[in-house]
Amino acid sequence: MESSEETSKNGKEGSKSHNRRRWRKDKGKASRILQSMDLRTMTQSLVTLAEDNMTFFSSQGPGETARRLSNVFAGVREQALGLEPALGSLLSVAHLFDLDPETPANGYRSLVHTARCCLAHLLHKSRYVASNRRSIFFRTSHNLAELEAYLAALTQLRALAYYAQRLLATNQPGGLFFEGDEGLTADFLREYVTLHKGCFYGRCLGFQFTPSIRPFLQTISIGLVSFGEHYKRNESGLGVTASSLFTSGRFAIDPELRGAEFERITQNLDVHFWKAFWNITEIEVLSSLANMASATVRVSRLISLPPEAFEMPLTSDSKLTVTISPPLAHTGPGPVLIRLISYDLREGQDSEELNSMVKSEGPRILELRPRPQQTSRSRSLVVHFHGGGFVAQTSKSHEPYLKSWAQELGAPIISIDYSLAPEAPFPRALEECFFAYCWAVKHCALLGSTGERICLAGDSAGGNLCFTVALRAAAYGVRVPDGIMAAYPATMLQSAASPSRLLSLMDPLLPLSVLSKCVSAYAGAETEEHPNSDEKALGMMGLVRRDTSLLLRDLRLGASSWLNSFLEFSGQKSQKTSAPTVEKEENEAPRESMRRSVSEAALAQPEGPVGTDSLKILTLKDLNLKSSSETSETPEMSLSVETLGPSTPSDVNFFLRPEDAREEAEAKEGLSAKDGSSRVSNAFPEGFHPRRTSQGATQMPLYSSPIVKNPFMSPLLAPDNMLKTLPPVHIVACALDPMLDDSVMFARRLRALGQPVTLRVVEDLPHGFLSLASLCRETRQAAELCVERIRLILTPPAAAAAAPPPL
């Protein structure tokens, strides 16, 4: 019996191993097809095979399975023939949106590549069916289910291609983002969010990414839907354990059920769910496992910076100083947490002054291992801002790859644990990050650095904070970092469609509704948009107590923040200034009114003429004209309040109109015979109907809060004179990331201004690859590229000139 059981067990393990090898082999074949065929050849081959398979299964009698197989191949043929011209038209002009010929990347290219991935998989599957359809081992049900799933994906990709054509016809030359009034933008989003998405989250999950990533995405999707079940029972998410995430076996064995549940979760659950889910990585068991696979460092300690103002010298005149006040917005003065990570114990890192600020982390109080000899201070310092959509994660989530960075760079790293939305919306995170940056510059000796070279580094939301902190440093007149390394940053928080953002329909890590909820939370509007979960949890009396306390808090802090803002900047400037005013709508809720006033006061500068006319929503063209007419002495922060305006639809033109875009304009005229003012519903040709979601209306705001147009929230909208103050910028983006166009457009703006900027785009990886650095070879290489860019910033100019150029 034991021998028989062992044989059976070995046989099952061998079968599983064989299935894994066959899966990798199949994915490899699809990848080779993608690389070896152009679009037209691939489409023609697929149509020929689809017709052959359709003819075969049509002759197999009246059976249901044969009929479905015949229909699915007929559908593949129809969608492939309809998709090929749309993709060809996009590909013919995609090069016009690249940063330069050496960086062929933008949303149009990514959309075409994703569609080609789907076509390549269907071509490979069609070949397999044609070769094995007569075999007794042919798994009819499995192949039918996979073909139907990829047909649904191909249909939706065709819809996205038509949307991209509409963007191409509507946008101004040089613009990747949807332009027009906010009413038209809302129409576009309203139409877009009704598309069916579940097909991308089941059998087709992650088909566009490198094969090494797909098993991880499948695990994440199973964990997500399982977490969703537990979250429905306990909306706080506090009772969910790591082991409970993967206990719903039905989601693991039924991809269609998993896809439908994934779609329901992404559309209907609020930002508090995503905050709880993304913070799962900080569960002690999971974080311990991640740290076991990371480099071992001698210093990893959490430090609490006291909320005390201090003086910083001005770069223009070191004899003059400016006061750096502690963060004030929304919650008043409070400590800022930073994590110090250093591979070696360096001078100053075990000083009494620093030890007095160390914050206990429970059983893992310190990872500091005293050594008889200390290493001298490093000449460099890295200041890191973590990602997480402004709503989730901390430095602990990003600690594994930061430890590797500390080892490879030989420099101490501080990672800022800024306050998160929706509890602490904009500009609280910016205030805390700027305060921590200035403190680090002033006290770099305590951190084990001489501060000769300082680099800001961040990913996603952290990349956004890198740019805005540098802009704020320039506005204050204090030292600006020597460079910025931003990985897949968010530079445009406006709810505007772009070719790459169309990919959010299928992205399992950044669905559009989730992006919108995170931005809404950061803008301070999330609580009003989605109160259902909070109301259920608090009850009526709880809501009354909560709203009353929040209103009183905001009234108190609003007055304090306004007063502090005026006192602070009146001390910095000697010339006469006028205080900005903010118009409020009569029907605006008191709490929202005060929240906006606090946010505006925290960034508003009383410099320059500010009247009622200046409170309009400025276009980027307006900002550029204004900045070009100002002298170099005009502070860059003076325009921040002017970008705020009423929360009603208005005419907004967000992007540049390059003078050298004639070729693109001519190509667009040849591509589009439609009137640019036609409605979004006319984007599809007659007879084509994409699949619509069955999950009901998506809970997401269609109109952006005016505050997202603030350049300290959306740096892409900053005027030229502000962007010219940025240090050298190095961006590492992902070709298949919905935020790709944020990076491309930001790099194009900097390049047009003559600012030093580089853009490297990695292929076939998802948003957030830094957190997956140890997962596979591709993510490790992408993480090494980020380290290379940081090293370039930390290298003194003389040494950098003598070194070979980076790849």
Work out the end-to-end distance of the chain between its first and last CA atoms, rounded to an integer number of angstroms. 61
Longest CA span, the chain:
94
Cis-peptide, bond into residue 327, ω within 30° of zero: no
Q: Are the beta carbons of 782 and 485 closer than 8 angstroms?
A: no
Length of the chain equals 807
Distance between CA atoms of residues 734 and 540, nearest Å: 45
Distance between CA atoms of residues 684 and 441, nearest Å: 55
Adjacent-strand bridge partners of 608: none
Q: Are the beta carbons of 643 and 618 closer than 8 angstroms?
A: yes
Q: Are the beta carbons of 436 and 383 closer than 8 angstroms?
A: yes
Distance between CA atoms of residues 719 and 619, nearest Å: 10
Question: In this structure, how many other beta carbons lie within 10 angstroms of the beta carbon of residue 102?
Answer: 7
Which residue do the tokens 């803008």 mark?
523
Q: Are the beta carbons of 411 and 449 closer than 8 angstroms?
A: yes
Six-digit token string for 355? 């030890």
Distance between CA atoms of residues 253 and 761, nearest Å: 35
DSSP-assigned letter for residue 37:
-
Four-point Cα dihedral 493, 330, 382, 372, nearest 10 = -150
Q: Are the beta carbons of 492 and 464 closer than 8 angstroms?
A: no
Give catalytic residue positions.
Answer: 460, 737, 767
Nearest 5°: CA angle at 125, between 21 and 131? 90
Distance between CA atoms of residues 658 and 634, nearest Å: 25
Give the burial string for 640-674 (b: 16+ CB within 10 Å, else e). Answer: bbbbbbebeeeebbbbbeeeebeebeebbeeebee
